[in-house]
Structure 1
Amino acid sequence: MQLKQVIIAHKANDTQSRRWAEVCAEQLEKHNCRILMGPSGPKDNPYPVFLASAMHPIDLAIVLGGDGTVLTAARHLAPYGIPILAVNVGGHLGFLTESFDEFKDSERIWQRILEDRYAIQRRMMLQAAVYEGDRTNIEPMSDRFLALNEMCIKPASADRTITSILEMDIDGEVVDQYQGDGLIVATPTGSTGYTVSASGPIVHDGMKAIIVTPICPMSLSSRPLILPAGSVVSVWPLADYDLSTKLWTDSVLGTSIWPGQRVDISMADCLAKFIILEENYSYYQTLREKLQWAGARVHYNNNHRDN
């Protein structure tokens, strides 16, 4: 990979993340690389400026932060096919990031990238738009929204908890009506996020599938569904007298959805591209470490494999 123009996004208001961003910028400039650097956070979105001011194609985005910082980068950069090197600097779980220990010798990282000694992992994303009325209306009335983890349809109110009633159809066929706290429509990548907290399934991130999970449904028969990636999930808010139903993308507010409108959610036409530096990368190792599965909580000598 050539490194002529690189984005560096660091977690807003995090001293360590900003310091490492400055270190990376200084090192890459020695390789005659043009740097676009800025903070990323709830009140800071540097990507429109990055993309508008790029004089040449952007070769790489270095994202220093936690999973939230990475999700923002993926939503903005995936449509342009820009690969992301995500490093856990100032984050917490870091499901989507490279370990900081792998990154400390950053000069070696740039050499590896210049010599193409890395892997690229492509992850499915979701897209959504709001429409008036039923499926006969195919002209969206909203922007297109992207998500790497999940789309969530649920109400928001400052003064009380509102129960939502949502009708869902799949590929034009009504499947269920959900009464409860809302509905999550997720990718396999997002199955270890909000979805798993709502008792949804964990789906390998190498798959292409859509996971639908109700949030605290008032019916024991409302269960999660795993759908083919080519499905279109349509959701209508019913009996929303407060006009409070919202579409959330990776936990960020997207837009309001009123009765008489629907939101269509489907697999996006772009993929998030992540640089993998770890030579023996394992999805199952990530689950063991981040979710504290086998051997992470209880340490013991187990030699049964040698018998």
Structure 2
Amino acid sequence: MQSTFRSVAIVGKYMDTAALQQMQSDLTRLAHHLLAKGLHVCVEANTAAYVEQEGFEQASLEQIGSKADLVIVMGGDGTMLSVGRALRETGVPLIGINRGRLGFLTDLQTDQMLDEIDEILQGHFQLESRMLLHSVVTRAGSQVLPVVALNDVVIKSAFRLIELEVHVDGQFVSRQRSDGLILTTPTGTTAYGLSAGGPIMHPDLEAISIVPISPHTLSYRPITVPADSVIEVIVVSAADAQMSYDGQGQFPLAAGDHVRIARAEQSIRLVHPQDYCYFDMLRNKLNWG
């Protein structure tokens, strides 16, 4: 059967040399398998140094979106998050091979990856769209740090309570003293938001969850709003507050900063095996029994 995808890119845990060394044999095995099927194979530049195989093209992460119609990511959820953000403008779908810990976003395991990749190449897969968040900080009238997140945008202090004021669509919601606040997509509700007592939202939902981190007043509870809401968080007192996105970037905040969070214009597409079930994934990853 002819492959649904003709050009396939491979991205390993490209910012971690030690991890790439550990997965070298699996990367090589995957590249050899795809090349043997007559596919055009493109390997991310940092990853390519650890692929013992000729016949593939090298490209930067930014170039891959225009060269491939499927991207295979070998790593953990963190790698999937960064690759998804980098390729969001292209719409190219991603499939993950888990070389991390829990792997909520990486469906395949290395011992079965070739058989499962073959099924996907033959058109036996599910395709799913995941929403993103766009955040920007306004300081003294100027916009700084526009970022996009697949999981969450987090405003927090490491050691002291901070005071935050929350507005949704221009309406005042609350003023709270807490360790911080998590603004999360449905994808991100199984990440930091879950640890902070937030709800798990099915990824088909279009919503944003606002989850307080250790609020000083225990009546402050998580609240979920429609995905088209515009959320504004005003930093009243900052202490050592900072903002992060997907747990991968940090930016110090100051009193008076306004953080605007809304749904991003782009989304990312994930490829799942044909028999993928979200509830099976939750049960296995969270040990529900």
For normalisation by structure 2, the TM-score amounts to 0.85
Is this contact kept in 1: 2:126–2:276, CA < 8 A? no
The corresponding residue for 2:254 is: 258
Contact 1:168/1:176 (8 A) holds in 2: yes
Give the alignment of 1:162-173 within 5 angstroms: 162-173=160-171
Query: Helix, strand or coil: the match of 2:102?
Result: coil
Q: Equivalent residue of 1:292, what SS? A: coil
Matched length: 271
Matches within 5 A, 1:207-246: 207-240=205-238, 242=239, 244-246=240-242
- Amino acid in structure 2 at the alignment position of 1:6: A
- TM-score after normalising by structure 1: 0.81
- Counterpart contact for 2:108–2:116, Cα < 8 Å: no
CA contact (8 A) 2:97 2:113 kept: no
Whether contact under 8 Å (1:211, 1:224) holds in the other structure is yes
Q: Gaps spanning 5+ residues in structure 1: where?
A: 41-47, 297-307
In structure 2, the CA distance between the partners of 1:56 and 1:185, relative to structure 1 (3 Å rule), is closer
Identity %: 31
1:2 corresponding residue in structure 2? 5
> Residue 191 and residue 5 in structure 1: after superposition, are their counterparts in 2 closer, same or farther (change >3 A)?
closer
Q: How far is 1:250 from its partner? A: 0.8
62-71 or 217-226, which moves further after superposition? 62-71
1:119 partner letter: Q
Structure 2 unaligned residues grouped into runs of 5+: 48-58
Which aligned segments of 4 or more residues in structure 1 are displaced greater than 6 angstroms? none
User: In the alignment, what sits opposite 2:119?
Assistant: 112
Contact kept, 8 Å, 2:183 with 2:209, in 1: the verdict is: yes
Contact 1:257–1:263 under 8 Å retained in 2:
no
CA contact (8 A) 1:8 1:25 kept: no
Change (3 A) 1:64 1:165: same
Deviation at 1:4, TM superposition (A): 2.6
Match of 2:201, SS state, is coil
Q: What root-mean-square deviation, in Å, do the aligned CA atoms of Structure 1 and Structure 2 show?
A: 2.3
- Cα gap change, 1:111 to 1:288, in 2 (>3 Å): closer
Aligned to 2:134: 127
1:93 aligns with 2:106: no
CA gap of 1:155–1:114, structure 2 versus 1, over 3 A, is same
State whether residues 10 and 74 of structure 2, in contact with CA within 8 Å, keep that contact through their aligned partners in structure 1. Answer: no
Question: In 2, are the aligned partners of 1:10 and 1:38 still within 8 Å (CA)?
Answer: no
Question: Aligned pair in 2 of structure 1 residues 19, 149: CA closer, same or farther (>3 Å)?
Answer: same
Contact 1:10 1:18 in 2 (8 A): no
In 2, the alpha carbon distance for the partners of 1:150 and 1:179 equals 20
How much does 1:280 deviate?
Answer: 2.4
Which amino acid in structure 2 is aligned with residue 51 of structure 1? E
